[in-house]
Structures are given as structure tokens and as C-alpha cells.
Structure 1
Amino acid sequence: MEVAIEPKSIQYQPAGQFEDTRFEKIHNVIFNDSKTGSFEVAKEIAKLIRKKQEAGKKCVLGLATGSSPIKVYEELVRMHKEEGLSFKNVVTFNLDEYYPMERNNIQSYHYFMHQHLFDHVDIDPANVNIPDGTVSPDKLQKYCRSYESQIEKAGGLDFQLLGIGRTGHIGFNEPGSHFNSATRDITLDHITRVDAAPAFKGLENVPRKAVTMGIGTIRKAKRIVLLAWGQNKSEIVRETIEGEISSEVPATYLQEHSNATFVLDKEAAAHLTRIDTPWLVRTCDWTKDLTHKAVVWLSLQKEKPVLQLTDKDYNDSGMSDLLSTEQSSYEINIRTFNRLQHTITGWPGGKPNADDTNRPERATPEKKRVIIFSPHPDDDVISMGGTFDRLVSQGHEVHIAYQTSGNIAVADHEALKIAEVANSITKTDTFSKVIEDLNGKTEEDFDSELVRKIKGNIRRSESYGATRYMGIPDSQVHFLDLPFYETGAIRKKPLGEEDINIMNDIIEKVKPHQIYAAGDLADPHGTHRVCLEALFASLGQLKSKSFMKDCWVWLYRGAWHEWEIHEIEMAVPMSPAQVLRKRKAIFYHQTQKDGVMFQGEDLREFWVRAEDRNKETAQKYQSLGLASYAAMEAFVRYHY
């Protein structure tokens, strides 16, 4: 959906949608993806800069850091280089900075802003203001008052760009922040530190404090645009837009701002009432998919099996108009139950010599060539180890394609241990250099190329252990090492032609009948998202090939989330024995156990998370009135 961003006003609400948005207290626009939304925000900023230039005035921008605004800054840089957008009249004030924090630290927001924006445009360095993370504690309070004074002297913020944290923080205004708070130092919430942990390579390295503009400072901005991208932000976005104003969710204070807009992608907007449960706010066009979603929702809400739902249940839940289009709830229930039942199959590659009319997969060809794309060298067994096992045991030719080396997820002490063991057998210059590099490394250093290679090889060895255990010949295990990943840092290079060509080569080599890939857009450091984009780009280039007409693509979710029940198109049951085999396969990835670097706020090990998630999926199917299984893995088909 391409919607121009405008100031909050009733006239800008989409025509005929007033009823839809009755729960919403902040103006918001939704785009298909973050790139499109970011470009629109960049256009608004550029328009403001030019308008101020024409009037001979300074343009005062409040800027944010983090992953959300990166594409906005990239587009502004492009406009500067290709369209002559000048920043000579721009004065900037950044929202926050970690404390304490040196400016040249690669994790500092000073470093971030120069890397993404200031080093690439013609802004006067004297007009750049970023909170100083090096001020001594005894001078910090005075410094914060001075920062406030500088904003006031500049005439206040013309435009404030924001992101939102999962605690509902804006800037580093954590839960409990007062609506009139000014620039100050603040203790960071645990969840905020957990979210920052990947960039710092461990929670223990994340500063506990920060300097931030206050809520009161932000609220004085003439225009506010908040960016929210991805599934991880959907719950806090709904709470902020539809919930009550509360200091526990500081972003809700923006409900009282007269000119604020939330710019969202589809994933971040997914839990807004008008998107998630539209029947609660309007009369719906009851398509088959919407009906299916609504009945599954109703069954779970009422805690009743689908076949036990009554007319009263529908009427009491805002779905009376659905009944008016049908003979009775009975027919709707039967149709929903059958659709759910038809998603369940013990034959993910298709059942030979069977009627496949109501099965998720085709019966022919009886033996299929399969590629399982795994963003990291363990996602295959973590996310679909049971299905993997079924495909192999049922005689399909299964290829595993690890898209990235996963080297940054190997802790330094693990690499050091391997190097020291190797050197204890036969001392070599290579491993001696690895030991030297690791022992001399500081928290601010990137891994050397040699250390990255060792870490990548460690993960390769673990992958071979798991694939051999699952019965895959080494010749069918492929390490793609996509170049976008190989930076040695959390921040990756943009997806490039070389990445897509590598994807094309493996698909053309295998000529698969099935492709499995990670459809998880909630990966905390973005690799899953980029790997999925690489697959989509490859499919777009290859779809005209004759062999692609017989290729179906199934998306699984990673370790972070599972598909919603109404979305699932193939559910593969697992017996207790298969659950145990999956667990053993995961165990081969030893460096990713016992305190893995990028596990987010969920402290369970990946194998525990996977088992719990698969068990929960099976339990939901059972609660809907379907058969009871120990666990289930879920997939959605992608049509390219």
C-alpha cells in the first residue's frame, strides 16, 4: 500500500475507514515493506529541508539510531549525491548515546551517525549535535541541561525521527519515564540491553546507562515520525497505538501530539485490530481465507473445538454478518475443520500412489529432489529437523544449502579452544596466529579474516556432524558462504548480484521439486531476512526455466516464532522418537549451546525452544479438535 505521509488530521484518513480505526489513537500508515516506507519518510525530510532553504532558514532535525532509520539515511545520502539535496542549512540533534561511550567506539551512536549519514553529505560539522558519552559523572547533569539549551537556541526541533523499542521506549526513555522529562542520564531496561546484545557480542558488554533526550523534549518537536519494522515490533505497536497512555509504555505519550505519524511495514502493523481481527471493527468481505482465520480465532478465544462453535459464539464475537451469508455455523465449522485437517501430513514430499486432491503436496514425482536452505548452519535442524528426517527416510534426494558461514556466532573462547588443541598436536603458524589474534583482540575489534575462517570451519564441521546423523551424503551438503554476510561484524553488506548468482547456481544444479527456506522475518540481527530476499530474487530470475514449473517453495519459521495456525498450509506431525532425533541433530551444533551469543531475551537453548514451539503447535491443533500429536512442524507455501 503506497500512502503519502501527511500530518495527523481527519482529512488524511483513508475514505470509508473511520470505523476501522476507532481503536487507534495515533495516525499511522502501512507500507508493504520497510524500504518503501523509508523512502517516503526521506522524501518528507528532503522536502522540509528544501522548504527551509528557500526561506533562508535553518532546518532542525532530531535524529534516531538503530536499524529502523538506516534506509531513510541511505535514501537521503542518495538524494544528496544524485539530486543535489544540500544539508548546509541543517542542524541535527541526536536522541541518545550509551554512557559511558567513546566516540570512536564502533558501537557508539556518534560512529553510527557518521557511518550512515554525516560522512556522506555536506552538513557543517559544527551543526551536528550528538549526546557525549564521555562527560564525567560530576558534569553530566550540567551537560544535559546544556543540550536542552542548545535545542532551544536552535529554535526547537522542526522534525523528530523516532524508532521504538520493544519496551515502548522512544530514544532511551524507558518504562517509568515522565511525560515532561528532559535530557538526562537513564538506566537501561533489561530488554533494551538484551536487544542491543548482538551488536555488543554479548549482554555483559552492553552499557547499563545512556544519555537521552526526554519525553518532554521530543513532544516539543513540530513534527514527529516514528518508524517500526518487522514482526518483533507488532505487539508494542498495537499497544502504543491502541492502548491507554501510560508511563510503562512511554511511546503512548505521542497520542497527545498533534502532528505525529507512525510509519509501519505489514509485519509491524499485523496486530492492529483492523488488520488482525477486522470483524471487530467493520463489516467484512468474507473471503475463504478471512473466514478461516476468523473461525480459528473464535475457536481459540472460546477455548472450544471448531466443531462445537455455535451461532451464539459467532454473534457474541462480532461475526453475525458471517452467519448471515451462510446457512448456519455448522457449515462454516465443517469447512474450517476440513481445511485444518487437510494441512496435516506425514508425507512432506507427497504420498506415493495416493489421491493428493486434499493433501498439501503432490504425489508425483514419487522421489523428489529437495533443497533445504538454511540461513545459518543450524537452522535446518532447529526449524525443520523432523521434516528433514521424514524427507530422508521416505527416499527423497535431500540437499542442504547453508547460506552463510555463521562465523560471528562462534564465541572467541570456542575458537581459541580449537586453535589451542590443534597447536598442542602439531604447532603451526596458522593456529599460532589465530591464538595471537584472539588473545590480542579488544571489545572494539572485528575478527581478523583468519579468525573468521576458523570460526566458519568450526560451524561447517558441526553441520557435517548433524547432516551425517540425519543420513545425508557429504556431496549433498553445500556451503554457499554468501558474500553479504562476510564482514566480521553484525552489520552486513547489502545483498548483491554475487549473492543471487550463488543462489541461482545451486538451484540450477539441483533442479529441485521442493525448496524449503526460512520465512522468519523476526530474526534479531536480520540474516534470515536477507537470506529470504536472496531466495526471492533468485526465484524471480529463474522462474522462466522449465524445471521451475515443477518446483514448490515451502517456508518454515526460525527459532524465534511460529506461523499462526490459520496461516499453516502444511503441518508435519512428529512422534516422540522423531522429537528425540531432532534434538540429537541440534546437539551436533555444540558452539550454539550453553549460552549462545544471539539468543535474544529467551534464555532457553535452541533445542528447548524448538521442542516447546513444536509441542505448542500440536496442542493448538488438538484444542481446535484435531488429532493429538507429540509435536508438529509448520510450513506456508510461497507462490512465486
Structure 2
Amino acid sequence: MQKQLTDFDLERIKAFEQIHTEIFENSSKASLAVASEMASLIRKKEAEGKPCVLGLATGNTPKLVYIELVRLHREEGLSFRNVYSFNLDEYYPIAPDSPQSYVRFMKEMLFDHVDIPEDHYFIPDGRLPMDRIPAFCKEYEQKIEELGGLDIQLLGIGSNGHIGFNEPGSLVDSKTRLIALNHTTRAGAASDFGGLSATPKKGITLGVKAIMSARRVILMAWGESKADVIKLAVEGPVTERIPASYLQAHPNTTFVIDEASAQQLTKYKSPWLVETVTWDNKMIRKAVTQLALQLGKSVLKLTDKDYNDNGLSDLLAVYGHAYDINIQVFNQLQHTITGWPGGKPNADDTYRPERAEPASKRVIIFSPHPDDDIISMGGTFIRLHEQGHEVHVAYQTSGNIAVSDDEALRYIDFAADLSKRTEQGIDHSVYDTARDFLKKKKPGEIDIPEVRTVKAIIRRSEAKATCRFVGLPDEQVHFLDLPFYETGLVQKKPLGDEDVQIVARLIDQVKPQQIYAAGDLADPHGTHKVCLDAVFAAIEQLKDKEYMKDCWLWLYRGAWAEWDIHEIEMAVPMSPEQVLQKRYGIFKHQSQKDGVVFQGNDSREFWQRAEDRNAATAALYNKLGLAEYAAMEAFVRWKF
């Protein structure tokens, strides 16, 4: 959780934050704290002989809370017999037994595992005829009022600021109602339904007025993808464009968030404005690069007045003139840039991000999906191979759920027709079963194993094509197929020991001097996070081995975001020709072009996202006064 602050610091924070926030290291610790508060209230109400009325949310955000509540029931006797619960929302139309239904979600996550009576929990009905919905919504609010109102309302937050399904434009006095879902909301849910076209366009939601009437509101958010909207809700104006901002007027609201989602808050982004900071090297670099970008100046042009006028007088007081600080930061930025990601042989590596020796390194690139390697660090990947390093690529998951049904059918037809023409011994039963299923598949239905096999083969063949394009021999391409991924659902199993051992065996086999892994934590419950945890856990097991003492771990980001400029420890520049070479490598992944399953809110294709991101990184360096490159890939070293 956030560090202890003085009263003076707290007052300065209040000048920016209009809602109380509690920041935890990660979502697990935050969820335990929320579950503990809820459990305490349930027990208190039970001791008083009163009902405890809870407003509950769905989605990835509250899952760990519900898991902990179930544990408290099973292991510590927490009873839910005095609990009444009202869920925030539900898709419309949807059947309660649908895999995406919030009825099914709540039963599987909580209600089926505790002793709450069946007539004590209420969820909006996604099967109602349209003309019955207004009366249902009125009755829903009346039931809450009859029980004395909500004691706690649990919330998540959408990337567009919605709470429940109260989309941007919802008024502060809006009531429980049927609402048209925003495109952003539907795009975020599209992966659950197998694509945007199958995602419901409407939902039933508890109104803002009912949420604001709760005696206590806890809003939770995890991951970098929520950082921008958290800042708007907490520090921005109250506006219907960000419905969560209405909570600024609630007398007892807390935003419980992790460090990743807090990154844009002033106390995290510019902590020197709200508290006394320790001016170590990292903090200085963060402050100076922010100041330069804010003022549109190169680092070497910043003046004492610039520092004094923008809250950095303490830094000057400690380190003297701006000129000296500027030189220090400029040199640090310059030293991150290298065209030799594996180290430059026979060179003085004092100020280089990587070691010169050994001149030829064994390298493992861990790629969560079969295209993250080329999308996220394709230029570096190609350069490592061209500069003589022994590069191994390890694809951690099959990526099968990211292949569209149409794409799978196309490949099945090709394989079946090819086998008929050549009379090879291809197992027709796999193709026939998969084809029959796909032709009858219902929206949101889980793929059968045969379909997942076909989709995995598609992704694997594309990954092989990329590696051939780079020049890697087959024996240096590894498909790990980590078991946690193979559920056929967007929601995966927790990381298990078998996953960790698979990763550890490969590391032990290759004995690398360099490891690259995806450090993209935008979704703490996503595949990238689990794959990174597998690498961390494997390294923890192996770190005392002799070869690991000479191994460095570099983290790259995914297709959506880049490291902040002050965090970057190695920046690998690319020429226009190298940018095109990377693009052609990405094009090998044909199943991920032209409208992929997980496009999200960003309509750009992956090659466009990657090029825009890499060009933006190079532009930042140039704005700060360094050399101008066409593009850059950035890395942060993780020291273990």
C-alpha cells in the first residue's frame, strides 16, 4: 500500500485528488483488503441481527474478492445467511445460463459456494420482454429501499468511465433502466462473445442515483489500461462524460487501485508536487524528462527558472544549477541507445546498456502469443540474429482463441482438399469434426478441442514462417503450449507448477546469457501477465545455478503501450528499411490481419500499432534533444 504520508503531504494531495484513493502493490493485496472490509460488515450486521445489503459487480476486477469471500466462508465460518445482494447490471438480451451471463458468473464465482439463500440475491433479468423492463427496474430499486438501502456498493470502472452500464452521458439522477451500450464497452467485451457482431448492444443497469445512495462505495481498478480514466475520475471535473466522476460528491467513497492503475495520478506521476521526495537518479530522470516534454524543450535547454516555476526548486536546492542536472540526464538518455542489443564485441561497455562479452550470446525470447516477438521487438529480434547471437524463440501459448472461425474454416477446407488430392494420411476426423462444429457454432459457444487444435496449428505455422523469415533454424523455435492457457475461454486457469516447470526446463536447456520477456501489464489477468509470472517463477528456481549468474532479463512491452521515457534502459533504433523488414515479419501472421478477434477499441492492425509506437518512442528521444531515428524499440532490465 502507499507509503505513510505527513498531514502536510495529505493536504497537498487533496488539492489534486477529489476522491480518496488507497493504492496497493497489486490486485491480489487490494482484493484481500476489500474482501476483509466486506466480511467485517457482514459479521457486524449479523451480530446486530440486521440484514447486510450488498451491491455487487461482475467482470475480471472483483474476481479475487469473491474468491477470498468464498475462502472466508469455507475456512473461517463467514456466513451469508443475512446477506442480500443486488447486482449492478446484465446484458440484454441474454439467457441466464449463457457463458457470458452475469447470473452464471455470480453463481459460479460466489453464490454456489456460500450459504446465501436463493431468494436473497437479485440480478437484472436479461430475458424480459421489452415492455416489462420499466416495471422490473422500478421494482428492483424498491426492493433495495425496502431492505434499507445498499450498505456497500462494489464497482469496477470502464475505460470510458462507466460504472455499471451507466455509459458516458448518463445523468447523476439516472434511474435503473435499459441502456444502449457504448461501442467502447462492447469492444471491451467482444472477446467474451467471439467478436463484436455477437456482443449485445444493450444492457440493464442500476442507475447512478441508486449507486450514489449507497452508504459506502468501493471502486476497484487494476492495470495500466485503467490509469488514464482513474486520473480523470479522481482529479478531473465532475462530468457526465466520465460517470465515475460523480463519485466525487459521494461522502464515503474509496477507490481501491493497484500501482499500475495509479500511474497517472499526480502523486505517482509527479510526486514532487505533493510530497517530499528522495532525489535519487531515477526520480531526477523522471522529473527532468517530464519537465522538458511539458515545456516542449530539449533537456539541455532547460533553465533554473523552468525548474523553479514548475515545482522543482527542491531539486535545484540539492543539486545546484540546471545545467549540471541537464547534462547528467542527457548523458543517461544517450547511454540507453544502442544498435547492439546483444552487446558490441570488443567495445568499451562502461556506458552501454549491454555487456560486450561474451561476444556471441545465447538468447531466449519469450513470446506469450505466437506474434508478440515480432510485433513487440521484431527489429531487435532480427538484429540479434544478424549480429551472430544464438537466438531461441519460445512461444508460451498456442494463441488459438485469437483465430476467427472463418479463418479456421478456410484452413480446414484447404487441408481437407489437399489431403484428397495427395491421398496423404491426414486424420480427416479432426477436420470433419471441427468443420461440422464451426458451421453450427452459436455466438459465444466454447470451441471444442478439435477446433482449438486447428486454430493452434494456424498460429504455429505463422510463427514458424516468421522465424524462417528472420533466419532461425527449426531447432531454435520452441512451442511450449503452457497448460494454463488451454481452456478454450478468454478466462484462463491460474498459473500452475507444470507451466513453470516447462519454462524452467527450456531455460536450463539453453543456458542463456540474455532473456527477453513481455512486461506488458496492461491487463493483470491477461495472458501476458501470467506468462511473465511463469518466467519470473522459473528464474527464481534457477537463479542460483552458475549459468544464471551471467544471465540478464530484458522486458519489452506489447502492441498497445511503451515504457515511459524515464524507465527505458535500452533503446534499439531502427532505420526506415528495418521498420519495413519488421512489418513484413508481422505480415506472416495472416490470421491476425484484417479484423482480428481481439481488436479491442483500437481499429489499427497490429503492424500499424507497432510502427506508431516505435515511431513515437524515437520522436520522444528527438524531442529531448537526442538523435532523430525512424523508430525505436525499448526495454527495461529486470534484476533478479
TM-score for the superposition, normalised by structure 1: 0.97
Q: After the TM superposition, which parts of structure 1 deviate over 6 Å for at least 4 consecutive aligned residues?
A: 12-15
The match for 1:227 is: 220
Q: Distance in 2 between matches of 1:505 and 1:290?
A: 38
Tell me which amino acid in the other structure corresponds to 1:91: Y
The match for 1:598 is: 598
Q: Distance in 2 between matches of 1:404 and 1:463?
A: 12
Alpha-carbon distance, 1:46 to partner = 0.7
SS at match of 1:572: strand
The match for 1:527 is: 527
Post-superposition CA distance 1:57-95 (Å, at most 9, x none): 111110000110000001111111111111111110000
Alpha-carbon distance, 1:14 to partner = 6.8
The match for 1:144 is: 137
The match for 2:118 is: 125
1:385 aligns with 2:387: no
Alpha-carbon distance, 1:396 to partner = 0.4
Post-superposition CA distance 1:375-421 (Å, at most 9, x none): 00000000000000110001000000000000000111111111111
SS at match of 2:566: helix
Alpha-carbon distance, 1:441 to partner = 1.4
The match for 1:51 is: 44
The match for 1:579 is: 579
Check 1:610–1:345 CA distance in 2 against 1; reply closer, same or farther (3 A cut).
same
Q: What RMSD over aligned residues (CA atoms) do the two structures have, in Å?
A: 1.4
Unaligned runs of 5+ in 2: 421-427
Q: Distance in 1 between matches of 2:13 and 2:301?
A: 30
What pairs with 1:262-281 in structure 2 (closer than 5 Å)? 262-281=255-274
Tell me which amino acid in the other structure corresponds to 1:205: A
Tell me which amino acid in the other structure corresponds to 2:534: A
Post-superposition CA distance 1:182-227 (Å, at most 9, x none): 1111111111111111111211111111100011101111111110
The answer (yes or no) to whether the contact 1:170–1:250 under 8 Å persists in 2 is: yes
Tell me which amino acid in the other structure corresponds to 1:558: G
The answer (yes or no) to whether the contact 2:198–2:444 under 8 Å persists in 1 is: no
The answer (yes or no) to whether the contact 1:524–1:600 under 8 Å persists in 2 is: no
Q: Distance in 2 between matches of 1:136 and 1:524?
A: 38
What pairs with 1:491-640 in structure 2 (closer than 5 Å)? 491-523=491-523, 526-640=526-640
Q: Distance in 1 between matches of 2:74 and 2:503?
A: 32
The answer (yes or no) to whether the contact 2:569–2:634 under 8 Å persists in 1 is: yes
User: Which stretch of structure 1 is more off in the superposition, 551-560 or 533-542?
Assistant: 533-542
User: Which stretch of structure 1 is more off in the superposition, 344-353 or 247-256?
Assistant: 247-256
Alpha-carbon distance, 1:56 to partner = 1.5
Alpha-carbon distance, 1:544 to partner = 1.5
Tell me which amino acid in the other structure corresponds to 2:581: R
The match for 1:486 is: 486
Post-superposition CA distance 1:218-252 (Å, at most 9, x none): 11111111101000111111111111111111111
Q: Distance in 2 between matches of 1:429 and 1:342?
A: 58
SS at match of 1:566: coil
Alpha-carbon distance, 1:422 to partner = 1.6
Tell me which amino acid in the other structure corresponds to 2:105: F
The match for 1:153 is: 146
1:346 aligns with 2:339: yes
Tell me which amino acid in the other structure corresponds to 1:464: K
Tell me which amino acid in the other structure corresponds to 2:98: N
Aligned residues: percent identity? 59
The answer (yes or no) to whether the contact 2:615–2:630 under 8 Å persists in 1 is: yes
Alpha-carbon distance, 1:284 to partner = 3.0
Q: Distance in 1 between matches of 2:491 and 2:59?
A: 11
Alpha-carbon distance, 1:611 to partner = 0.8
The match for 2:425 is: none
2:95 to 98, 102, 111: 102
Post-superposition CA distance 1:529-571 (Å, at most 9, x none): 1111111111222211121111100000000101111110000
The match for 1:8 is: none
TM-score for the superposition, normalised by structure 2: 0.97
Q: Distance in 2 between matches of 1:478 and 1:512?
A: 14
Tell me which amino acid in the other structure corresponds to 2:78: L
Post-superposition CA distance 1:231-280 (Å, at most 9, x none): 01111111111111111111111111111111010011111101101222
The answer (yes or no) to whether the contact 2:9–2:275 under 8 Å persists in 1 is: no
The match for 1:79 is: 72
SS at match of 2:633: strand
1:247 aligns with 2:240: yes
The answer (yes or no) to whether the contact 1:514–1:553 under 8 Å persists in 2 is: yes
Alpha-carbon distance, 1:3 to partner = 8.4
The answer (yes or no) to whether the contact 1:21–1:274 under 8 Å persists in 2 is: no
User: Which stretch of structure 1 is more off in the superposition, 438-447 or 27-36?
Assistant: 438-447
Q: Distance in 1 between matches of 2:279 and 2:14?
A: 19
Tell me which amino acid in the other structure corresponds to 2:269: D
The match for 1:9 is: none
Post-superposition CA distance 1:498-550 (Å, at most 9, x none): 11111111111111100000000114971111111111111222211121111
Tell me which amino acid in the other structure corresponds to 1:565: I
The answer (yes or no) to whether the contact 1:164–1:170 under 8 Å persists in 2 is: yes
Tell me which amino acid in the other structure corresponds to 1:180: D
Alpha-carbon distance, 1:21 to partner = 3.5
The match for 1:308 is: 301
SS at match of 2:149: coil
The match for 2:463 is: 463
Post-superposition CA distance 1:146-200 (Å, at most 9, x none): 1011111111111111001111111111111111111111111111111111111
What pairs with 1:102-501 in structure 2 (closer than 5 Å)? 102-427=95-420, 428-501=428-501
The answer (yes or no) to whether the contact 1:182–1:217 under 8 Å persists in 2 is: yes
Check 1:47–1:517 CA distance in 2 against 1; reply closer, same or farther (3 A cut).
same
Post-superposition CA distance 1:478-512 (Å, at most 9, x none): 01111110000101011111111111111111111
Check 1:572–1:365 CA distance in 2 against 1; reply closer, same or farther (3 A cut).
same
The answer (yes or no) to whether the contact 1:490–1:525 under 8 Å persists in 2 is: no
Post-superposition CA distance 1:560-604 (Å, at most 9, x none): 101111110000011111111111110110000010111211111
Alpha-carbon distance, 1:444 to partner = 3.4
SS at match of 1:20: helix
SS at match of 1:325: helix
The answer (yes or no) to whether the contact 1:377–1:404 under 8 Å persists in 2 is: yes
Q: Distance in 2 between matches of 1:503 and 1:576?
A: 35
